[in-house]
Structure 1
Amino acid sequence: MAGMYGLGRVMNVIPIAAGAAFKFRGASAVTFVCTGNDTFTLTASATFGGSYATPGNIITRKQTCTATNGTAAWAETTQSASNAVTIASGTVVFGVLTSQIADPLAYLKVSVGASGLVMAILHDLTVQRKPANLEILGA
């Protein structure tokens, strides 16, 4: 069976996204992969350099894993509606649907309380492009 590469077709990636603002409107969802004993707080803004504030308490579902190297199973968990996720160790993944963020907000940022790591994966791109022609998100 033949495969297809995903970058540019179905996803774009920001490998070091902690505290970095980026445009998210070109995808139907963003998945954040976070590691470290930390709190990860989602904020949004209408402009890249604008004022970032909570987009509302939209995070209720998350997946956790006690390992960061693929050696443990994922667990589906829920939390009280919030714009933040906290973990003591391992990995946490949470998603934000573009439809959950009110217009005109077009930029997201996940800030960390200490030294947590964040990767943002934008998926279900609305326009497919060659990787070299993907929109620069952090500007």
Structure 2
Amino acid sequence: MGAMEGLGRLFNVVPIAAGAAVSLKGAAGVTFICTGNDTFTVTCADTFGGSYATPGNIITKKITNSATNGTAAWATATQSASNAVTISSGTVAFYVAGDSLPDGKAYVKCSVGASGLVMAVLHDLVPRRKADNLAIPGA
């Protein structure tokens, strides 16, 4: 058997993730990649359909890019500890580690204040599987 592709071995993706519940049960964490002049807020819950609440001030590092088409370099920045990230243009990426969430919280959402776009990339998957056999992250 040849080498496994990245999808299923290294990561899983939810391409349209604004306000969508994402399970971290099979991943070490999730990187949210966001675009638009907006505020992106992370909440968490015990169950998929549970009551989502602030996980605490878990985001202190963000990576920004002034372009959305790959024509600019990424730049690492810090922010005051929060559960939200705001950008005025371009792209921002930030990581939420599963172990940074309160005990028992396995589901996260990244909600937008207005019309921003969000993609969720779950990574460091356990167990690693062929893409066809991945767990459904939004269930």
TM-score (norm 1): 0.96
Deviation readout 1:38-84 (Å, 9 max, x if unpaired):
00000000011111000000000000010000101111100000000
Q: How does 1:22-41 map to 2 (within 5 A)?
A: 22-41=22-41
Whichever residue aligns with residue 127 of structure 2, its letter is: V
Secondary structure of the corresponding residue to residue 63 of structure 2: strand
Task: Kindly report which structure 2 residues correspond to 1:1-139, keeping only aligned pairs within 5 A, or say none.
Answer: 4-139=4-139
**Could you say what secondary structure the match of 1:132 adopts?**
helix
Give the RMSD, CA atoms, in angstroms: 1.2
Give the distance between the partners of 2:123 and 2:136, measured in 1 at CA: 15
Inter-partner Cα distance in structure 2 for 1:3 and 1:60:
36
Shift of 1:25: 2.1
Residue identity in the other structure for 2:31: T
**1: CA distance, partners of 2:76 / 2:104:** 31
2:53 maps to a residue whose letter is: A
The CA deviation at 1:4 is 4.9
CA distance in 2 between counterparts of 1:4 and 1:23 reads: 23
Q: CA deviation at 1:3?
A: 6.9
In 1: Cα distance, 2:41 partner to 2:98 partner: 17
User: TM-score, normalising length from structure 2?
Assistant: 0.96
Q: Which runs of 5+ in 2 are unaligned?
A: none
